[in-house]
Amino acid sequence: DQQVKQNSPSLSVQEGRISILNCDYTNSMFDYFLWYKKYPAEGPTFLISISSIKDKNEDGRFTVFLNKSAKHLSLHIVPSQPGDSAVYFCAARNTGNQFYFGTGTSLTVIP
Amino acid sequence: DAMVIQNPRYQVTQFGKPVTLSCSQTLNHNVMYWYQQKSSQAPKLLFHYYDKDFNNEADTPDNFQSRRPNTSFCFLDIRSPGLGDAAMYLCATSRDTLAGAQGDTQYFGPGTRLTVL
């Protein structure tokens, strides 16, 4: 049973506009959430994270929002750049050190 | 500068022939993970080591085994590969993450793509 879900397999955005990637989860015991970026032929690389005690974390062009009541998080990229084109994975961690991943969203930023 | 190294990057094996994938890390992290990722699917956690303590996921087949002889190395052994085991295998590490500790993440290797003929 998929505990972390990314329902949009792909997203296309014009350069300079906002990209919004969404993620839903089912386990209320997750205490930490992460976004990873993955280029072809490489492993996922860490992008940004948020603790379950916060509702927003910002790092440059990247902001992650957490809505615990809705069990939903989102990643905002503003402004989007062509180099942001990649697959983005949402992940959640439980207190047992286990990480669960979504299926990924392929972002294409159109110049 | 490589922090998590996986060898080989591409592995071809025959149906039923045992295969071992390796992972090493220069980060001195306590925790090492193995994930299986099939096309268009989420990376699926197979097991992880917390130091020498082995933690198997409930739905990981017995066909998959792991060894961690020291902090730096971890191996994934597939005893009798089937066609359904063809996938990308990702190794990852993280620091000691007790409940409540924040700011930790996993560092991934580039993966080993396994083909089963």
Per-residue confidence (pLDDT) for residue B2, from 0 to 100: 63
Give pLDDT, residue A41. Answer: 81
Count Cα atoms within 13 angstroms, Cβ side, for B7: 5
CA distance B84 to B86: 5
Nearest residue to B4 via CA among B78, B97, B105, B87? B105
- Cβ-based contacts of B105 with chain A (< 8 Å): 34, 46, 49
Tell me which DSSP letter residue A95 carries: T
Query: Which chain B residues are closer than 8 Å to A31 by Cβ?
Result: 99-100
What pLDDT was estimated at residue B102? 52
Pairing of the two strands A10-14 and A99-101 = unpaired
Residue A8 has pLDDT above 50, yes or no: yes
Average model confidence (pLDDT) across chain A: 93
| Minimum CA–CA partner of B91 in chain A | A43
Residue with more model confidence, A94 or A61: A61
pLDDT at res. B100: 43
- Which contiguous run of DSSP H or E holds residue B86? none
Instruction: Write out chain B's pLDDT in tens, 117 residues.
Output: 669 999 899 999 999 999 999 999 999 998 999 999 998 889 999 999 999 999 898 889 999 999 999 999 999 999 999 999 999 999 999 886 544 445 567 889 999 999 999
Contact present, A42 and A34 (Cβ < 8 Å): no
B45 and A CB contact within 8 Å: yes
**Which residues in chain B are closer than 8 Å to A3, comparing Cβ atoms?**
none
Q: What is the mean pLDDT of residues A13-29?
A: 96
Look at A102 and B42 and tell me if their CB atoms are within 8 Å: yes
**What pLDDT, in 10s, does the model give residues A49-89?**
999 999 999 999 999 999 999 999 999 999 999 999 999 99
Distances (CA, A) of B88 to A1, A72, B51, B71: 20, 28, 24, 23
Determine, for residues A4 and B42 on separate chains, whether the beta-carbon distance falls below 8 Å. yes
What is the C-alpha to C-alpha distance for residues A36 and A21, in angstroms, rounded to an integer? 12
A103 contacts B99? CB cut-off 8 A = no
